[in-house]
Amino acid sequence: MKKLSEIDPAKELHSLIRSEEKRILESFPLERRLGLMEISRSMDLFWINIDAGIVEYSEQVRQLSQLITFGLNKAVHLFLDGSCSFPSFPLAMSSKESKDWADSVLIHCGRLGLCEYFLETNRIGLSKLKKESDYIYRFQFSDTEPIGLESFEKDDFNWRIEFIAKNQENKLKELEERQREIWNIMSNLVNTWQDNFIQYEAHPEVDQFYKEYGILRSERMFGQDEFPSDAKFGGYDFSLYRATVETLTGWGLKHASFCTQLLKKSPSIDFANIITVPQHFENKILFLTYVLDIDFDTARHLLEILTLTYESKNVHCSAGIFIAPAFIKVGQGRVLSPVWGCTSHPFLFMLNELKRKYRFDWDMAVNQRENIFRNDIYALFKESRFLKLDANVKIKIGGLILTYIDALIFDRATGIVGIFQLKWQDIFGNSMRERESRKRNFQKTSNQWVDRVNHWLAVNSISEICKMCGFDKQDIERANEFRVFVIGRNASHFSAVGTLDSRAAWGNWYQLLRLFTENITLTNPLAELHTLMIETSPLKKEFLRPPKEEIKIRDATIIIESA
């Protein structure tokens, strides 16, 4: 028998997870696609209750949300199998037993997914794992390394959602004033089908209402601004993909409202049987041709990009990714259309699929991001006193190009020149593997850039530098100081961050936008922004420590705590 010191606890936990996945599959004796539908219904019921504010937020709800966030992709991956290519789809009703089963699968998969997440933190050195006895494992996080920096940057993104929502207030108010009238119309359009299911008719006023609602909702979603409108993927503009997501978001909201109206008319009906139902994919294609005024083949292509299939599940259901497809293929010509997929993060699913299918187009479109980012920052400095360079500036010493400046803003009123590097990383969600890749690239290249820029500033006079940047004589005479910024579009600070060159202010786009909106004056905006980005850096805040918690997986207890 091996001693504890001879055991690889990570290998044991991985083996335990695989064993539990097998047990979960064996717990459902029918076609797995029926289990997939039950899981989708369970997720829809949870999502609608949270999204509509029916369930008040509490610590228990937070823990449940965490488990479902980490477990949904695993549950979907397990039950999305070859049966999803069978003809048609059985007309199946949920029962109390099947709903309880699906709820337990989501939660148990969440425990497995969370354990995998902590195993990744151990692999990359954020935590240390040890086995203490036959059934007790302990992950310990350092009490000196900065942990949880990503959550501070998430606060900046949440501010951005609230900021957009505030700008939408007038439009939202108009929709709210019409909502009761729309619901009354919908009540007359919806009825039961075969006693236990739902059917409803189209109505132009209802369709227009939810089209507008879907656009407003999608504007607040992460990923909707990842590419310029004219960036092409598979020959189609990104704006067309975005319009498709906006449409599907509206459809998801409309379907949920129809279900609510039917429940008012027929209180005995089981909400699970009407919220997530198999549908004819061709009907969805025809509806989209009408809404976007496009041909059938184009509509099919657009909807397939937002459809999860057995063939694509390994890409979309990877660890740490919240899976949000607008459709799940469950039979020949049949799909599920989960409300959670249409109304949570469909852009993230769409972006992953575009990257999977059109890698060459993706790499070409990534090259267009810099112009968007530069223009977004320049739009904050509207006054004529600001000189803004429209293209990259080459940094040379002795005729040798060291690097490039992505954006440059000169404030004629103060003499300060802001020098920016702009980094637009792909979104990585909770995936520790993807996060580590982004971290290495961001820190290495950005630290090199800061060092080269500061060397360039040190070996040249202010007037020489301004002349290299193309300033006219008057502006050269006004310039007196340089401030250096490194701005990441989606992230700039990572747990166990390593060294960030202190000669620059480091931050993300949403932090910059928040500071500029709430704190910056026109007295000396570049200096204020530089100072505030440093002062509000996640590194200046008290590091978050994971609360002590326990995960139970069969006989094993996994403990998570700070050292």
Burial label for 52, CB within 10 Å (0-12, 13-18, 19+), is exposed
Tens digit of each residue's pLDDT (9 = 90 or more) over 361-383: 999 999 889 899 999 999 999 99
Residue 319 pLDDT more than 80? no
Q: Across residues 39-51, what is the average pLDDT?
A: 91
Give residue 6's pLDDT band: very low, low, confident or very high (50, 70, 90): low
Choice among 140-149, 230-239, 508-517 with the minimum mean pLDDT: 140-149
Residue with tokens 């040890």: 130
∠ CA 327-314-331, rounded to 5° = 40
| Residue % of the chain over a pLDDT of 90 | 70
Give 249's contacts (C-beta < 8 A, 6+ positions apart).
214, 215, 217, 218, 221, 342, 343, 346
Residue 2 pLDDT more than 60? no
The Cα-based distances of 331 to 80, 263, 298, 490 in angstroms read 11, 28, 22, 37
Q: Across residues 432-452, what is the average pLDDT?
A: 83
Regarding predicted confidence, which is higher, 93 or 433? 93
The two beta strands, 505-508 and 481-488, are: parallel
φ, ψ dihedrals at 431, nearest 5°:
-75, 110
Residue with tokens 């931050």: 507
φ, ψ dihedrals at 500, nearest 5°:
-110, 125
| Residue 294 CA, distance from chain mean position | 28
- β-bridge mates for residue 397, sequence order: 400
The pTM score is 0.91
Give 549's contacts (C-beta < 8 A, 6+ positions apart).
559, 560, 561
Give residue 3's pLDDT band: very low, low, confident or very high (50, 70, 90): low
Q: Across residues 77-90, what is the average pLDDT?
A: 94
Length of the chain: 563
Q: Across residues 373-397, what is the average pLDDT?
A: 89
The Cα-based distances of 201 to 254, 356, 383, 493 in angstroms read 12, 36, 52, 50
Residue 353 pLDDT more than 90? yes
Give residue 218's pLDDT band: very low, low, confident or very high (50, 70, 90): very high
Residue 138 pLDDT more than 90? yes
Report the range out of 21-30, 310-319, 509-518 with the highest average pLDDT: 21-30
pLDDT computed for residue 142 by the predictor: 74
Tell me the C-alpha distance between 111 and 28, whole Å.
19
The overall average pLDDT reported for the chain is 90
Cβ–Cβ under 8 Å, residues 525 and 411: yes
The two beta strands, 236-237 and 481-488, are: unpaired
Cβ–Cβ under 8 Å, residues 20 and 554: yes
pLDDT computed for residue 413 by the predictor: 95
Residue 293 pLDDT more than 90? yes
Q: Residue 279, Cβ neighbours under 10 Å: how many?
A: 17
pLDDT computed for residue 121 by the predictor: 84
Tens digit of each residue's pLDDT (9 = 90 or more) over 520-557: 888 899 999 999 999 988 887 776 677 788 999 999 99
Q: Residue 13, Cβ neighbours under 10 Å: how many?
A: 23
pLDDT computed for residue 58 by the predictor: 74
Question: Residue 293 gets which letter from DSSP?
Answer: T
Tens digit of each residue's pLDDT (9 = 90 or more) over 464-521: 999 989 999 999 999 999 999 999 998 887 776 678 899 999 999 999 999 989 988 8
Residue 1 pLDDT more than 70? no
